[in-house]
Amino acid sequence: SPRSTERSRRVLNHPESAARAARGNHEGPIDVLDLVEHGHGVPVGVLALGEGLAGAYLRRPRGALILVNGTEATVRLRFTLAHELGHHVLAHSQSVDTAAELRDPVRPMEIEANRFAAELLVPVRAVPSTGHPVGLDDIVELAAAFGISAPAALFRFVAAGAVPRDRERRLRVELEEGAHLDLRHRL
């Protein structure tokens, strides 16, 4: 129907909407691998891809395939897998992604896949309202709850409008200095 076609077009033009549709009504942490393989029917290969390579989204005649670098940390694997699913859901072309490109994307389809991955892993509506200025403890708790890195958790608090720019800069410096590591180990 014209209405469903228009809705599909709107979802594909907005990575966050596409991520919310992909995750369904579930607001808590998700099993990304299960969602990719069973929810979207895309097989995943976990391989040692080589230094600097994070993952790949491949379109083949028999169907799509996602590869992720199994030598990466679990939080990195989860983000890469969500990113590669973003390429699939957003109908992007094939992509071989380096860790550097995922951290600081330039190409529009990589930016879209990152936006998709961030919303898929931690929907903005699931970011807790703290009632106080967001601190490292809040960041580490969100990261632990959703299986993401502390910098990614800070990004989600910023996306939810819970952290002003000046506070974001201070928190980012603290994270870069490793001020959150003891707290992370205690949790």
Alpha-carbon distance values, 166 to 96, 176, 178 (Å) = 35, 16, 19
Lowest-confidence segment of 13-27, 71-85, 106-120, 148-162 by average pLDDT: 13-27
C-alpha span between 19 and 1 (Å, rounded): 22
CA atoms lying within 13 Å on the CB side of residue 170: 9
The helix/strand/coil state of 54 is strand
**CB contact at 8 A, 90 and 12:** yes
Contact 116, 90 (CB under 8 A): yes
Banded model confidence at residue 13, pLDDT cuts 50, 70, 90: low
Please state the pTM of the whole predicted model: 0.86
Q: Please name the residues in contact with 4: beta carbons below 8 A apart, sequence gap of 6 or more.
A: none
Q: Is 41 left (phi over 0), alpha (psi -120 to 50) or beta?
A: left
Contacts of 152 (CB under 8 A, 6+ apart): 75, 79, 118, 121, 122, 143
Q: What are phi and psi of 96, to 5 degrees?
A: -110, 120
Q: Is 88 helix (H, G, I), strand (E, B) or coil?
A: helix
pLDDT per residue as tens digits for the range 116-158 = 999 999 999 999 888 889 999 999 999 999 999 999 999 999 9
Q: How high is the pLDDT of residue 5?
A: 43
What confidence tens digit (pLDDT) does each residue in 83-92 have?
999 999 999 9
What is the side-by-side strand order in the sheet with 95-98? 44-47, 63-69, 53-60, 95-98
Of the chain, the percentage scoring pLDDT greater than 70 comes to: 92
The C-alpha torsion from 93 through 89 and 124 to 3, rounded to 10°, is 120
137 phi-psi bin (left φ>0, alpha ψ -120 to 50, beta other): alpha
